[in-house]
Amino acid sequence: MDPNRNQPPQDNKPEDKRPKGNLWVALIVTVVLVLLISSVVNAVINSQYTKTTYSEFLAAMENNELAEVEIRADRIVYLTKEEAAKPAAEQRACFTGLHSSGGTLALANELDEMGVKVDYQIVEDNSGIVLILYYVLMIALIFGMMRMLTRRLSGDGLMGGFGSSKAKVYMEKRTGVTFRDVAGQDEAKESLLEIIDFLHNPQKYTDIGAKLPKGVLLVGSPGTGKTLLAKAVAGEANVPFFSISGSDFVEMFVGVGASRVRDLFEQAAKVAPCIIFIDEIDAVGRSRDARFGGNTEQEQTLNQLLGEIDGFDSSKGVVCLAATNRPEILDKALLRPGRFDRRIIVDRPNLQGRLDTLKVHTRKIRLAEDVDLRKIAQATAGAVGADLANLVNEAALRAVRKGRQTVNQEDLMVSFETVIAGTEKKNSVLTDTEKRLVAYHEVGHALVAALQKHAQPVSKITIVPHTTGSLGYTMQMPEEEKYLQTSEELMIELRTLVAGRAAEQVVFGVKTTGAANDIQRATALARNMIAQYGMNDKLGLMAPASVSNPYLESQSYMDCSQETAALVDRESQALLQSCYEEAKELLLSHRPLLDEIANFLLVKETITGDEFMAYVNAEAKQLPEGTEESDGQQVEG
């Protein structure tokens, strides 16, 4: 057992000790700068004079060539009549060392009798002390300025800070994050509990001969909470938490990244047990490629990181966590056993996870009694923790704008719609023809969805323009969360997507640009059904397309011959055309219902799912008992 386990957490932040070598470097640089400045100043001053001997001065005095004379303790500065006759900018004085300080007063009197202008200033000789004080003050001033400047530039005090780590040390009292603040990631938290237990009780593992993985890689989509999980591990374990981004290692200076890696692990070894967290490790851990030459700064930094991970002893309690959303580009040497060999998937939360996440983010929000977080969780399928946090914050801001003290259900739903469609454009005015086109377009989507079984129910239809560029939208809210979709369900989604264009053709016989986004989504879905899901008879189980990065929702790329790619294009076009014709048939067979709902939408501009289904169910009741709809499906509310 760890004897310090039950003691209150202490601030184990390492002392801020500057390397003494850096102080000497700063002092030497300061002295060099002072000497350089002094030499420049003396050169500028001396450029105004011509140095002569005392004998030359006496000769000029005897020949009555002097115009002005200045007698000092250490020198005589004089101006001849020839130089005095020149313009002031071209005058050049001469100076010579004082031959005998004892006769300076007699010399001054003699010059005065000759009619020469004399400046006689002989005082006690303190020039040595003044000179010393001058240099001391200059050194102190420049040294202090260098200290302030280098601290801001390097963050570590002096010139040597360029190679020092930029990692920040977080203690539990500074992060304030525990597993209580992380919701929707139960599987990831369960996998990380072992690391916390090891940091608390390392002896339990070493007694049996077990070794904890040195590195743990957190993989997931942006916003799923990878960094939050790492902070929560440090908060639960009550150990120092070193946090640094992968991009902080990579610099334009050769060797700086490797130096920072060494410095980071040296700091961690001093305060072990601790956690090192490298965010976006793909910035430094990208796979090495010899095609473009080796020995780059990024490769040197990666090699140093691999060496440091191999070098530290995991039994001392140093655990290295890293996060990325691009695991496919990481170097294989980084993922081999003994390094980052444990991978924890931080996935998008399910329905219960979203509900728990909403509860966490609304913990400090004043909610009205009508708030139903489960409905919000159902509507936000596919959202990550960051999306839900933004949704709750937008709802709170809307409540403040409306002058309310609590957040109600409407605020949450409107903020959800704002996230997906943007805010309403109140100044946009559509013509009557455009409004009719948009109304029939949106009702076409909704009606085709309602006339098919297993389609997601319609929750809202609006023809109010929004800032995302849409002139209206139809919102469908799933009743339950699904992880698998059948080919028939995907066909229903395709028919619904192309139903807007079908309604334009059925009613107006025109094609508008309003269906652009629908066609793009339908094309992507049709290609995925054929090229990835194996839902085409001609291609069978072949998958000619692959997804490069599933965590960034990147587009698929074709990994096949040109003939196969052309076949995929033809089959996709045929599938879309088939769904388009079926959608047109549905709308033609229910044309009176289409007109009735569209006219109602033109009046109200926004209708709810219940109002829409009231029209659909009213038509279903008018059919003779036992009669089915044109698609062989009984309409249900």
Q: Quote the radius of gyration of the chain (alpha carbons, Å).
A: 41
Active-site residue, selected from the candidate residues 417, 442, 493, 571: 442
The answer to whether the CB of 271 falls within 8 A of the CB of 319 is no
What are residue 141's phi and psi, to 5 degrees? Answer: -65, -45
Task: Please give the full DSSP string across 509-561, using - where no structure is assigned.
Answer: ----GGGHHHHHHHHHHHHHHHHTS--BTTTBT---EEES-TTTTPPEEE-S-
**Neighbouring C-beta atoms of residue 550, cutoff 10 Å:** 11
Dig out the tokens for 73 from the structure. 């303790």
Instruction: Determine if residue 182 is left, alpha or beta; phi over 0 gives left, psi from -120 to 50 gives alpha, anything else beta.
Output: beta
3-class DSSP state for residue 98? coil
Is residue 442 part of the annotated active site? The answer reads yes
The identity of residue 337, as a single letter, is: P
CA distance 600 to 446: 14
Residue type, 249: F
| 147 vs 143: CA distance, rounded Å | 6
Buried b or exposed e, range 332-371, using 16+ CB within 10 angstroms:
eebbeeebbebebebbbbebebbbbbbebbbeebebeeeb
Contact between 547 and 600 (Cβ < 8 Å): no
Question: Angle 609-622/432-450 helices, nearest 10 degrees?
Answer: 70
Contact at 8 Å (CB) between 142 and 30? Answer: yes
What's 605's DSSP letter? S
Per-residue tokens: 214:
């040195």
Q: Give strand pairing partners of 277.
A: 243, 321
The residue assigned the tokens 């079908």 is 502
Q: Tell me if the bond preceding 550 is cis, omega within 30° of 0.
A: no
Which of 277, 332, 339, 289 shows the shortest CA–CA distance to 309?
339
A 10 A CB-CB count for 634 gives 11
Distance (Å, whole) CA 328 – CA 592? 54
Is the sign of the CA dihedral 121, 122, 127, 129 positive or negative? negative
561 burial via Cβ count (<10 Å: 0-12, 13-18, 19+): exposed
- Number of neighbours of residue 131 by Cβ within 10 angstroms: 11
The length of the chain, given as a count of residues:
637
> 150 with 100: CB under 8 angstroms?
no
Backbone angles phi, psi at 540, to 5 degrees: 65, -135
Cα 574 from chain centroid?
42
Half-sphere exposure of 228 (CA within 13 A, CB side): 21
Distance CA 73, CA 105 (A): 11
- Where in the sequence numbering do the catalytic residues fall? 442
